[in-house]
């Protein structure tokens, strides 16, 4: 049986599991919840691989008490979840008391089990009535109002809060590739969305701090490690462009730095959306940064006209590389490389690995799930975290993605990231081998 590196012992290192609201809550119209852009996106034919949606998901809205008990039984003392903006505000952007009460009940349950909450304010479920979504500057101001509302009602119970989860996905998967809500395909507009997201982050931090000065505040990013397919200069340049989009586009504003010229060229005349003074708003002091890591990318010089706009083409990994069931390369050393790359370029605050995990679709057999690939994946990444800390990185915690199988966005329920199996017909939860392994590691 594997053992945890002494540097990762739960007495000195924070261990948690993570989820997000849209992926697990279900109850999509309960108690005054208004539609999010993911509700409307799922309703559009052809958007979700298995034509599913988040209407029921893991029914966590009704089963949260049992789920929290399970988190405790598995030995986690920390839980990362997100608050659904469209659940706690009305279509007039006012407080929806019933929705807010759900999070109060959730926090009560966590408290009863001695589990510390770690909340994210925006994990992609944007209220659908906000016209123009992230392409509209007003949305950043609505986010600040929403943030202030959460701070007023839950702020004294939330020790650590992140504004956004992986804004790259909202901006680029949502507005350039169009595979995520709202499904727009426009390169320049995706950069406008990225800017408004970072503006929202900055305004949100200002709003929260005006109400609650004690909370530790930050953001969760999914920085890229992108290797060129060959050492031809055009492939090397393509890989750099991919990293600028994924990293510099978000990290530069956080530290008051301008975007690389290549991104300014791509936004073109829509650069007018980026107003004087915005950069200073984005660069609010950060108490922490969350990093989500799953894999690396390989890029080559663009091969299609659309790719030429963004400057690169990704090359899908194939055998003999080891892949998870979603087709992502298993590349644990990338975690070390990406953290070191970031450390070399930006003055990072303390770090938490806020997501890491694998799609391993192994099913139930005789009442158990033998997800050996996920176990190996997790152990290999724990080693990298320990190595980073040993070499001086200030990493304070690790959250496995995810507590349970859930709605995996455009993949619907076809990809399972949970350490707990969910039978979506009966909602029965069954801890997989990976969950039992973690339970044992955290108890020793």
* Active site residues per annotation: 166, 355
* Spatial contact of 429 and 67, defined as CB atoms under 8 Å apart: yes
Query: Is 166 among the residues that bind ligand IFM (CB under 6 A)?
Result: yes
Determine which residue in the list 417, 419, 422, 431 makes contact with ligand IFM, applying CB under 6 A.
417
* φ, ψ dihedrals at 276, nearest 5°: -55, 135
Strand-strand pairing, 78-82 and 116-122: parallel
* Least distance between ligand IFM and beta carbon 281 (Å): 25
Cβ proximity to ligand IFM, 279 vs 420, nearer residue = 420
Determine which residue in the list 4, 13, 16, 20 makes contact with ligand IFM, applying CB under 6 A.
20
List Cα–Cα distances, 412 to 49, 107, 354, in angstroms: 6, 28, 22
| Cα 387 to Cα 108: distance, rounded to the nearest angstrom | 36
* Least distance between ligand IFM and beta carbon 280 (Å): 29
Query: Is 399 among the residues that bind ligand IFM (CB under 6 A)?
Result: no
* Spatial contact of 142 and 152, defined as CB atoms under 8 Å apart: no
Query: Is 292 among the residues that bind ligand IFM (CB under 6 A)?
Result: yes
- Positive or negative, the CA dihedral 105, 107, 108, 114 is positive
Cβ proximity to ligand IFM, 20 vs 313, nearer residue = 20
Cβ proximity to ligand IFM, 245 vs 408, nearer residue = 408
| Measured torsion, CA atoms of residues 317, 319, 323, 327, in degrees rounded to the nearest 10 | 50
| Cα 402 to Cα 19: distance, rounded to the nearest angstrom | 6
* Least distance between ligand IFM and beta carbon 415 (Å): 8
Determine which residue in the list 254, 297, 408, 431 makes contact with ligand IFM, applying CB under 6 A.
408
* 3-state DSSP assignment of residue 372: helix
* Least distance between ligand IFM and beta carbon 289 (Å): 15
Residues 189-208 that bind ligand IFM (CB under 6 A): none
Cβ proximity to ligand IFM, 139 vs 292, nearer residue = 292
Cβ proximity to ligand IFM, 172 vs 259, nearer residue = 172
Instruction: Number of residues interacting with ligand IFM: please give it, by CB under 6 A.
Output: 8
Query: Is 170 among the residues that bind ligand IFM (CB under 6 A)?
Result: no
Structure tokens that stand for 80 in this block: 């990362």
Euclidean distance between the first and the last CA atom of the chain, given in angstroms as a whole number: 11
Which residues have CB under 8 Å from 297's CB, separation 6+?
224, 225, 226, 227, 242, 314
Which residues have CB under 8 Å from 422's CB, separation 6+?
58, 404, 405, 406, 428, 429
Query: Is 266 among the residues that bind ligand IFM (CB under 6 A)?
Result: no
* Least distance between ligand IFM and beta carbon 221 (Å): 11
Cβ proximity to ligand IFM, 279 vs 438, nearer residue = 438
* Least distance between ligand IFM and beta carbon 403 (Å): 11
Determine which residue in the list 355, 360, 371, 405 makes contact with ligand IFM, applying CB under 6 A.
355
Query: Is 85 among the residues that bind ligand IFM (CB under 6 A)?
Result: no
List Cα–Cα distances, 365 to 29, 61, 369, 403, 430, in angstroms: 35, 28, 6, 20, 11
- Give the DSSP letter string of 148-173: HHHHHHHGGG-SEEEEEE-HHIIIII
Cβ proximity to ligand IFM, 22 vs 64, nearer residue = 22
Question: Helices then strands (H, E): number in the chain?
Answer: 17, 13
Catalog residues that contact ligand IFM under the rule CB under 6 A.
20, 23, 166, 292, 355, 401, 408, 417
């Amino acid at each position: 049986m594997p053992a945890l590196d002494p540097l990762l012992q739960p007495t000195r290192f924070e261990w948690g599991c993570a989820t997000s609201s849209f992926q697990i809550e279900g109850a999509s119209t309960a108690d005054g919840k208004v539609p999010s852009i993911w509700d409307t996106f799922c309703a559009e034919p052809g958007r979700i691989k298995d034509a599913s949606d988040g209407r029921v998901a893991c029914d966590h809205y009704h089963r949260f008490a049992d789920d929290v008990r399970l988190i405790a039984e598995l030995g986690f003392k920390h839980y990362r979840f997100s608050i659904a903006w469209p659940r706690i505000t009305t279509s007039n952007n006012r407080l929806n008391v019933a929705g807010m009460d759900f999070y109060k009940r959730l926090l009560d349950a966590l408290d009863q089990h001695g589990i510390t909450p770690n909340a994210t304010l925006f994990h992609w479920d944007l209220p659908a009535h906000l016209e123009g979504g992230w392409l509209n500057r007003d949305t950043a101001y609505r986010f600040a109002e929403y943030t202030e509302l959460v701070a007023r009602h839950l702020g004294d119970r939330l020790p650590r809060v992140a504004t956004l989860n992986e804004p790259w996905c909202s901006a680029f998967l949502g507005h350039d590739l169009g595979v995520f809500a709202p499904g727009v395909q426009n390169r320049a507009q995706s950069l406008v969305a990225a800017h408004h997201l970072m503006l929202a982050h900055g305004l949100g931090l200002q709003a929260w701090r005006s109400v609650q000065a004690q909370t530790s505040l930050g953001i969760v990013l999914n920085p890229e490690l992108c290797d060129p397919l060959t050492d031809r200069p055009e492939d090397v340049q393509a890989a750099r462009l991919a990293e600028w989009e994924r990293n510099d586009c978000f990290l530069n504003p956080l530290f008051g730095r301008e975007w690389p010229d290549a991104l300014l060229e791509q936004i073109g005349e829509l650069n007018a959306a980026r107003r004087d003074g915005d950069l200073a708003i984005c660069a609010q002091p950060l108490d922490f940064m969350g990093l989500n890591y799953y894999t690396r990318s390989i890029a080559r010089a663009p091969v299609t006209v659309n790719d030429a706009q963004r400057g690169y083409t990704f090359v899908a990994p194939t055998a003999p590389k080891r892949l998870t069931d979603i087709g992502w390369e298993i590349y644990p050393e990338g975690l070390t490389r990406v953290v070191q790359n970031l450390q070399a370029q930006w003055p990072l605050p303390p770090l938490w690995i806020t997501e890491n995990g694998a799609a391993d679709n192994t099913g139930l057999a005789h009442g158990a799930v033998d997800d050996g690939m996920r176990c190996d994946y997790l152990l290999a990444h724990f080693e990298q975290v320990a190595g980073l800390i040993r070499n001086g990185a200030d990493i304070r915690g690790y959250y496995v993605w995810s507590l349970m199988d859930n709605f995996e966005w455009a993949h619907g329920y076809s990809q399972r990231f949970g350490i707990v199996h969910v039978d979506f017909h009966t909602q029965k939860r069954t801890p997989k081998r990976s969950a039992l392994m973690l339970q044992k590691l955290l108890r020793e």
